[in-house]
Structure 1
Amino acid sequence: MALEFLKHDVNANPSQPLLLHPAGEILGRIGSLETRLARNEREVDAAQAVRFRVFVEEMKAQLPPDAMRLRRDVDVFDSFCDHLLVIDRAIEGDVEDQIVGTYRVLRQQVAMSHGGFYSASEFEIGPMLERHSDKQFMELGRSCVLPAYRTKRTVELLWQGNWAYALRHGIGAMFGCASFPGVRPEEHALALSFLHHNVKVSGEWAVSARPELHREMDLMPREGVDARKALAAMPPLIKGYLRLGAMIGEGAVVDQAFNTTDVLVVLPIAAISARYINYYGADAGRFAS
């Protein structure tokens, strides 16, 4: 399925995705790896192929027949989101062959012009957005990295790209679904209970799973949760969010199609640990100016 992209310059309509970073393509670089936004339809197609390899071939997601036939994880959001790529320049071949990881990014201005955020299908995010009408939100999703590249430096590079992007667009908070493998929340009772008891959103950031989809995360009493074992049982992406200072929404959602149990991550920029702002800001700031 071909995707139609419009060409934008730096003064383009803010409700449309920005496919080229105004300060140049590169948002971060570590060794032979670099991160930047997808520039064209071919690169987005290659990112969708990476997503298919991870979500379908590895995690056993069930996509619509057309997507399965094309061997691409693709949906309607792809055509108006920005796509952050991790590229390994040490791989021989075209740039499409060098894409080893990706993140899908959706800014609030763009989302509101196209029917809303992806996460709204699982979580009641509307009240949170209304309470923070003075902030611009950014949704992160479809995060995946090929197995050989699931290293600390790849995760750091993805976050360097996200941070540069957030700085460029004046983002006040990030959020998005993060997943545990499988559709039985009880299998993740320790980790889910830790999240519920220790980092559940509250107050002005309160957000919960849609009532008809809500699955309890409070599966163990607080006193029965071993924090060290719970953190060891977390998917790396969720642990990375927690290190930055993220909170987790109330209730989980089972996604049968993707064979996952989802939680909502909420990360206000003001809550990000100062040491991480210093770490990422020192380098990513120059890419975002």
Structure 2
Amino acid sequence: MQGLTTSNDQNAAASRLTLSMATTPKEVREVQRLRYKVFIEGMGLDALRNPERLDRDAFDDYCDHLIVRDSATLKVVGTYRVLSPEAAQRHGAFYSEQEFDLARLDHLRGRMTEAGRACIHPKYRSGAVIMMLWAGIAAYMQKHGCEYLIGCASVSLADGGHNAAAIYHALAETNMAPVEYRVKPHLAFPIAPPRSDNRPVMPPLIKGYLRSGAWICGEPAWDAEFHSADMFMMLPLARLDSRYARHYLKEGEAA
């Protein structure tokens, strides 16, 4: 995928971006360092701090890592890790299975790509980076012949879980998956009853999934380590909004 570029008139700093796949341990460490800065330092997760200043887990060795760089500085400014069905089989599970029972999706395992650890440097959150990453995911899915994109999207519990509850109630009415795609959390986040004065504030990642045509597939899981409620989301490519399909698949072919 080396050499894919884009421009963003609203942000001069984002006008020189390149998309690639990590191919060396050094590049993977660059990804892990950005994730550490955003997830652990940025969210104040003191319990996860470490001397190496890297966010990593056992899945990193099995995943492919998409990278967006600022070509002027060569710094990694965005990343997404993706897990192919073959790699998930080698590892023995998808990352999501740490939080959800995916038994109902067993028949789709060979056609699912999992995306996670979406991470963008705070100075590059104008939209161009995430669009490039999604184009990279589209190319990856085409390469592996996958028809379903799955992953967990997190909602912070810093407000006591009020926003997570509001988001779940809103999406349960409008974007809940058909029953045959429902999954169950291993540790469910306790959802409070809906309140008329509690309007959901959607995180950008969830907004992006929803605009593309994704579902939530059941109640959220409680991620105590990252102090979040995690929504299991699925995007069948057959449901991909036509506007986004034209963009992502065109960019994917270019990639």
Task: Tell me if both proteins adopt one fold, taking TM over 0.5 as the criterion.
Answer: yes
CA offsets 1:157-203 (integer angstroms, 9 cap, x no match): 11111111111111110111111112633343322210122111223
Q: Do structure 1's residue 168 and structure 2's residue 143 form an aligned pair?
A: yes
Q: How many equivalent pairs are there? A: 247
* 8 Å Cα contact 2:189/2:221 also seen in 1: yes
Structure-1 separation of matches of 2:165 and 2:246: 34
Structure-2 separation of matches of 1:46 and 1:100: 10
Out of 71, 76, 92, the residue aligned to residue 58 of structure 2 is: 76
Structure-1 separation of matches of 2:6 and 2:21: 13
- Name the CA shift for 1:268/1:182 in 2 (closer, same or farther; >3 Å): same
Structure-2 separation of matches of 1:110 and 1:45: 20
* 8 Å Cα contact 1:192/1:219 also seen in 2: no
Counterpart for residue 34 of structure 1: 18
Out of 239, 246, 255, the residue aligned to residue 278 of structure 1 is: 246
Q: Do structure 1's residue 127 and structure 2's residue 104 form an aligned pair?
A: yes
TM-score between the two structures when normalised by the length of structure 2? 0.89
Counterpart for residue 6 of structure 1: none
Structure-2 separation of matches of 1:36 and 1:148: 20
Structure-2 separation of matches of 1:246 and 1:89: 32
CA offsets 1:237-262 (integer angstroms, 9 cap, x no match): 00000000000021112212112211
* 8 Å Cα contact 1:173/1:267 also seen in 2: yes
Q: Do structure 1's residue 195 and structure 2's residue 132 form an aligned pair?
A: no
- Name the CA shift for 1:194/1:164 in 2 (closer, same or farther; >3 Å): same
Counterpart for residue 180 of structure 2: 204
Deviation of residue 153 (structure 1)? 1.3
Structure-2 separation of matches of 1:196 and 1:122: 19
Structure-2 separation of matches of 1:216 and 1:202: 22
Counterpart for residue 36 of structure 2: 52
Counterpart for residue 219 of structure 1: 193
Letter in 2 for 1:80: Y
Q: How does 1:249-288 map to 2 (within 5 A)?
A: 249-287=217-255
Structure-2 separation of matches of 1:69 and 1:115: 30
Q: How does 1:221-260 map to 2 (within 5 A)?
A: 224=196, 229-230=199-200, 233-260=201-228
Is there any run of 5+ residues in structure 1 with no aligned partner, and where?
1-23
Is there any run of 5+ residues in structure 2 with no aligned partner, and where?
8-14
Deviation of residue 122 (structure 1)? 0.4
CA offsets 1:18-63 (integer angstroms, 9 cap, x no match): xxxxxx5245544301211101000100100000000111112355
* 8 Å Cα contact 1:60/1:258 also seen in 2: no
Structure-2 separation of matches of 1:239 and 1:102: 18
Structure-2 separation of matches of 1:106 and 1:112: 10
Percent of aligned positions that are identical: 34
TM-score between the two structures when normalised by the length of structure 1? 0.79
Counterpart for residue 180 of structure 1: 155
SS in 2 for 1:73: coil
* 8 Å Cα contact 2:82/2:115 also seen in 1: yes
Letter in 2 for 1:35: L
Structure-2 separation of matches of 1:179 and 1:190: 14
Structure-1 separation of matches of 2:191 and 2:242: 29
Structure-2 separation of matches of 1:54 and 1:198: 31
